[in-house]
């Protein structure tokens, strides 16, 4: 038992050392750092992984991106969620639904496909020298959530469980190399965006903006009736290129 505990402590320390090649162990959410760790274990260069970015939009406001990866085929932008319960939604609905307690408790949250599309739009607006660079959207659901009726046909968009991160990223990396205008523009943008997260005023500004735009989010309820519930057909993700 002692040997097992010592080995577990050793593994945790090695994982921490890996993560800290990219980001401080205290920065962001645990689930975001797990995405970073999985990417590193895949062999992705730590210099190409950026965590907890604050991108400035043309109107001066900031949007927060969980994880971004610069690759030879383009940019991968991760939106990380941590939910339990059953998840329902598609790319056209403004709000998705989370069901708990076998359907007795319902919560709604902003469509993560739309949310990440907003992040990608903000990134594109900052990349004047790379207008044709492909950007892939990957939404990862951590926690004990289960996709009950989740569909998405949007191009270059994936909705997955954590266990599919390696498979999806590997498939993306098999795409043709991107036609970059200036790779340094991308790296400079992301490096500055990470540094923005060290500025309390920028972080506070982003939080206030997010709260303002989310002020009309529907309130949670505890009564609901859903029929024809079905599982995700054996697939852990949906993809379109």
Question: Taking all residues of the chain, what is their mean pLDDT, rounded to a whole number?
Answer: 88
**What average pLDDT does range 151-158 have in this prediction?**
94
β-bridge mates for residue 95, sequence order: 110
Query: What residue spans of the chain are helical by DSSP H?
Result: 2-19, 30-41, 112-125, 165-173, 183-196, 200-213
Per-residue pLDDT, 8: 78
> In the sheet where 74-82 sits, what is the strand order?
49-56, 62-71, 74-82, 135-142, 157-160, 237-238
CA–CA separation, 158 and 85 (whole Å): 20
238, pLDDT greater than 60: no
Considering the entire predicted model, what is its pTM?
0.87
Give the model confidence (pLDDT) of 97-124 as tens digits. Answer: 999 977 779 999 999 999 999 999 999 9
| Helices and strands (DSSP H and E) totals, the chain | 6, 10
Rounded mean pLDDT of 183-205?
Answer: 96
Q: How confident is the model at residue 229 (pLDDT cuts 50, 70, 90)?
A: very low
The pLDDT, as a whole number, for residue 193 is 98
What is residue 179's predicted lDDT score, i.e. its pLDDT?
A: 93
Give tens-digit pLDDT for 190-199.
Answer: 999 999 999 9
């Amino acid at each position: 038992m002692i040997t097992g505990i010592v080995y577990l402590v050793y593994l945790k320390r090695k994982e921490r050392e890996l993560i800290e090649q990219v980001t401080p162990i205290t920065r962001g959410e645990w689930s975001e750092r797990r995405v970073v760790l999985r990417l590193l274990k895949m062999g992705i260069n730590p210099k190409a992984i950026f965590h907890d970015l604050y991108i400035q939009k043309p109107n001066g406001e900031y949007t927060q991106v969980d994880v971004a990866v610069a690759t030879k085929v383009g940019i991968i932008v991760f939106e990380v969620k941590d939910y339990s319960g059953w998840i329902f939604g598609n790319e056209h609905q403004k709000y998705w639904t989370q069901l708990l307690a076998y359907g007795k408790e319902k919560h709604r949250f902003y469509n993560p496909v739309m949310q990440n599309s907003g992040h990608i739009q903000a990134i594109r607006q900052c990349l004047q020298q790379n207008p044709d660079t492909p950007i892939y959207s990957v939404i990862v659901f951590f926690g004990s959530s289960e996709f009950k009726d989740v569909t998405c046909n949007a191009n270059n968009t994936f909705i997955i469980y954590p266990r599919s991160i390696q498979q999806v990223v590997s498939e993306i990396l098999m795409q043709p190399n991107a036609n970059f205008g200036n790779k340094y523009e991308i790296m400079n943008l992301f490096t500055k965006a990470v540094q923005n997260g060290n500025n309390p005023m920028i972080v506070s500004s982003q939080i206030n903006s997010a709260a303002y735009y989310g002020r009309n989010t529907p309130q949670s309820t505890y009564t609901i009736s859903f029929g024809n519930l079905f599982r995700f057909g054996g697939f852990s993700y949906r993809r379109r290129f």
